[in-house]
Structure 1
Amino acid sequence: MTEFPGAPTGPSPIDAAGGRRLRVLAAMSGGVDSAVAAARAAEAGHEVTGVHLALSANPQSFRTGARGCCTIEDSRDARRAADVIGIPFYVWDLAERFREDVIDDFVAEYAAGRTPNPCLRCNEKIKFAALLDKAIALGFDAVCTGHYARIVDLPTGERELHRAVDAAKDQSYVLGVLDADQLAHSLFPLGDTTKDVIREEAERRGLAVAKKPDSHDICFIADGDTQGFLAKHLGTATGDIVDADGTKLGEHDGAYGFTIGQRKGLRIGRPAADGKPRYVLDISPVDNTVTVGPAEGLDVLSLTAIRPRWCGAVPAADGRYTAQLRAHGEEVPVSAAVVDGELRVELDTPARGIAPGQAVVLYDGTRVVGSATIAATERRSVNA
């Protein structure tokens, strides 16, 4: 790995218009989005340095299709993009921190019967904690990423996080963990642009990653086999699959292999009495039991979320907002309030398949209010 030599030297330059020229650390994954974001930051007159985060202790040489984003090939793509842009480039080894804060957390959450979002945790713990903290310590003013989200600067000097213009690419949900201080040191140059325009711009700039497939799924599970990955870490633990009244319907090899709302792969021999499909309603790591039932048993009426993080002011008591409850879920109208340090959310209409461990992100229009981790849900009775 190439070591970073230190902070920029000399006073921060001032551009011709009298505004401050920022010293920007651009996180470059090796994909088209982060490359164009770095190019835009440099074109805006900022002093940009590119950095690729090595997050795997034993990176593969090449990507497997569009899965993952931490291979040696990706680091080389990022370096080539930095050369075209004309900015310095370095590789930072954050593999140990990533393993502790993201991978180990991911495994522990599944072992506890919860459903984590590793991308959200990576933003919270790696890109806007470990990376940003190191950047500030080295004299940089901001971290720039290729996330699709917008930052709005207010006359008061405060900043707001908003949804991206391209709703299909919007990533504000996984950025809802950022607090006001982190927003003050963040740049998201792509938030006002659609993905098609970004690829066209990359072509014009001569960036070889212009047609590179987007990374998706979980970057540290390159083959996409989440259950296999968890089995390697947690082993096999045979348990029962039961219905709501406790009747045994089948067996499983590990409760961690299931998520709330799952329908496929249940391996239940007998059909339901009403002939309708059954879904995972509950996962109990204590007795290693998975409970299944009808779809209406997934209807969530309210929820309690812990460890709230606010992008600005704490929500007012009994405030009206919309909430996004999954990474690709729809917004739903809610009432929300902070009670004893926890976020209590009442849904106007029931939402299905909401699992502890997922994040609830509150919005006021397009503005991100904040995020919290779902700890418990109140659901409609199966017999209702």
Structure 2
Amino acid sequence: MLYKKIIEQYMKKKKRQKVIVAMSGGVDSSVSAWILKKKYNVEGLFMKNWEEDDKKNFCASERDLQDAENVCKIIKIPFHKINFSIEYWDKVFLKFLHGLKTGITPNPDILCNKEIKFKTFLNFSIQHLKADFIATGHYAMIKSIDNVNFLFKGLDKKKDQSYFLYNLQQKHLNKILFPLGNIHKKKVRLIAKRLEISVANKKSSTGICFIGPKKLQNFLKKYIKNKRGKIFTISGILIGRHNGIHNYTLGQRKNIGNIKFKNYLYSSPFYIIEKNIKKNYLTVSRGFNNPHLMSIGMLINNINFLINVNTNQYFFCTLKVRHQEKHFDCLIKLNDKNNAKVIFKNPISSITPGQSAVFYIFRICLGGGIVSQNIPLIKLI
């Protein structure tokens, strides 16, 4: 009788579908693995995406690796590690550098999700580890309605990460699990504390995580030569120098450069309203709601929709142009599958080429694209 129960339990476990969880060494992926273990055969995989050459200044991937491995031991799941640093360099970092050099503001987190987590990692897990699904600690949800998979915003409004996932496709959604989509971050940390894992209070990483405490400008010096240039006011007055135009973005207020003109030191702050790449100068003006920062619309390209959309129609929806920003009402006119014109209900400040514009209907993420050009409220002469 005892042997029969053991065999039944073994066969039941054997029939369970296999999930490979992307273990980052953080609390979100750790709790994701623990949740999924209740229903699936779960294994963890740590991806190394960067080869450090200065371990004192970059984030400690060795520590993240150790944390991920320790968590897998505690929750008793197999652990794997893989080096995707070549893929990251070729498909993410070089694109990021190219974008900066051409004057746009690319999002490395979105590039990493598109090229590494939901392409390279997904394919490796299915082909080499024989996974049925992959899973990550993103705060988002996938729901199937009439045999169509929809990407929903996460229940925790402050942590929702659907903005970073708009490049997913139907074929991806069938193979992905987001176990934290209907959980708040506070509960995730409570679960981790109850499991007594060391990462329960570990700070979450975003963007280019391997930079660590280093400032982005200092990090980029190794890859893009700083070419100093001039900073002008909107009336053409020279008031300072910048440290390399690739270090700045439209709407930026802090760390603009060395502004020395005494009449401008003690009044309201300046915002960058123009980047002239060819002539290597910045134009600044006062006030975040300055009309020269406002756009009535934008052009976008490299569009990806998660569901089928009629390319000959106009449609209304809301959009986000930054992760932490609120939603804005807009009208979209699709020119074709890859390009569109977007008109805002009300002007929006600091629309920047290279940003990702992500579209929603209520909590459903429709998809998004890359801003190629803003349509200014007032054109600079």
TM-score by length of 1: 0.88
Q: Is the deviation greater in 112-121 or in 202-211?
A: 202-211
Q: 1:217 to 1:120 in 2, by over 3 A?
A: closer
Structure 1 residues 255-303: Cα deviation after superposition (integer angstroms, max 9, x where no partner): 1121110122333333469x65331112122221212224221111101
Match in the other structure for 1:281: 273
Cα shift at 1:207 = 2.3
Q: Is the 8 A contact 2:108 2:207 kept in 1?
A: no
- Greater CA drift, 144-153 or 129-138: 129-138
Change (3 A) 1:60 1:191: farther
How much has 1:50 moved relative to structure 2?
0.6
CA distance in 2, matches of 1:232, 1:287: 23
CA contact (8 A) 2:61 2:210 kept: no
SS of 1:357's partner is coil
The residue number in structure 2 matching 1:4 is none
Matching of residue 92 in structure 1 with residue 82 in structure 2? yes
Deviations 1:32-80 (A, max 9, x none): 1001111111112x12111000112127768x8xx95x61011111011
- Paired with 1:73 and 1:362, the residues of 2 have a C-alpha distance of 37
- Structure 2: how far apart are the matches of 1:42 and 1:338? 43
Point out where structure 2 has 5 or more consecutive residues left out of the alignment.
Answer: 1-9
SS at match of 2:223: helix
Are 1:55 and 2:49 matched, yes or no? yes
Match of 1:257 in 2: 247
In the alignment, which residue of structure 2 is the partner of 1:143? Answer: 134
Deviation at 1:177, TM superposition (A): 1.4
| Greater mean deviation of Cα atoms: 80-89 or 160-169 | 80-89
* CA distance in structure 1 between the aligned counterparts of 2:217 and 2:55, rounded to whole angstroms: 24
Q: Aligned partners of 2:175, 2:309: CA distance in 1, in Å?
A: 20
1:178 and 2:173 equivalent? no
The number of aligned residues is 363
Superposed, 1:239-254 pairs within 5 Å as 239-254=229-244
Tell me the SS of whatever aligns to 1:368: strand
| AA aligned opposite 1:320 | F
Contact in 2 for aligned 1:23/1:140 (Cα 8 Å)? yes
> Does structure 2 conserve the Cα–Cα contact (< 8 Å) formed by 1:22 and 1:141?
yes
Equivalent residue runs for 1:1-384 within 5 Å: 21-44=16-39, 46-58=40-52, 68=59, 71-138=61-128, 139-154=130-145, 156-216=146-206, 218-266=208-256, 267-270=258-261, 271=263, 276-294=268-286, 295-314=290-309, 317-340=313-336, 341-381=338-378
Q: In 2, Cα distance between the equivalents of 1:115 and 1:237? A: 18
2:325 aligned partner, one-letter code: G
Once the two structures are TM-superposed, the CA of residue 383 in structure 1 deviates from its matched residue by: 8.1
Provide the rounded CA distance (Å) in 1 between the counterparts of 2:16 and 2:315: 38
Q: Aligned AA for 1:365? A: F
Instruction: Give 3-state SS (helix, strand or coil) of 2:227's partner.
Output: coil
SS at match of 2:222: helix
Query: More helix per residue: 1 or 2?
Result: 2
Q: Secondary structure at the match of 1:309?
A: strand
Shift of the alpha carbon at 1:90?
0.7
Is this contact kept in 2: 1:243–1:292, CA < 8 A? yes
Q: Following the alignment from structure 1 to structure 2, what is the Cα–Cα distance between the partners of residues 180 and 216? A: 26
In structure 2, what is the Cα distance between the partners aligned to 1:336 and 1:269? 44
Gaps of 5+ in 1: 1-12
Secondary structure of 1:115's counterpart equals coil
- 2:250–2:273 Cα contact (<8 Å) kept: yes
SS in 1 for 2:25: coil
For residues 345 and 239 of structure 2, what CA distance do their matches in structure 1 show?
34
Percent of paired sites with the same residue = 29
Q: Distance in 1 between matches of 2:270 and 2:202?
A: 39
Secondary structure of the corresponding residue to residue 25 of structure 1: strand
Q: Deviation above 4 Å: which 4+ runs of structure 1?
A: 13-16, 59-62
Task: Specify the SS of the correspondent of 1:220.
Answer: helix
CA shift at 1:218, angstroms?
2.7
Residues 43 and 206 of structure 1: CA distance in aligned 2, closer, same or farther (over 3 Å): farther
Give the whole-Å Cα distance in 2 for the aligned partners of 1:277 and 1:335: 33
Shift of 1:189: 0.1
Greater shift, 254-263 or 278-287, is seen at 278-287
* Residues 207/50 of structure 1: CA separation in 2 closer, same or farther (3 Å cut): same
Cα RMSD (Å) of the superposition? 2.5
Instruction: Tell me the amino acid that sits aligned with residue 28 of structure 2.
Output: D
Larger deviation: 333-342 or 300-309? 333-342
How far the C-alpha of 1:321 sits from its partner, in A, is 0.5
Question: In the TM superposition, what whole-angstrom CA distance separates every residue of 1:293-343 from its partner, at most 9, and x where no partner exists?
Answer: 242211111011111111112266211100000121111011112213302
Deviates more, 1:316-325 or 1:188-197: 316-325
Offset of residue 22 of structure 1: 2.6
Counterpart CA distance in 2 for 1:213 and 1:301 is 37
- Give the TM-score of the pair, scaled to structure 2: 0.88
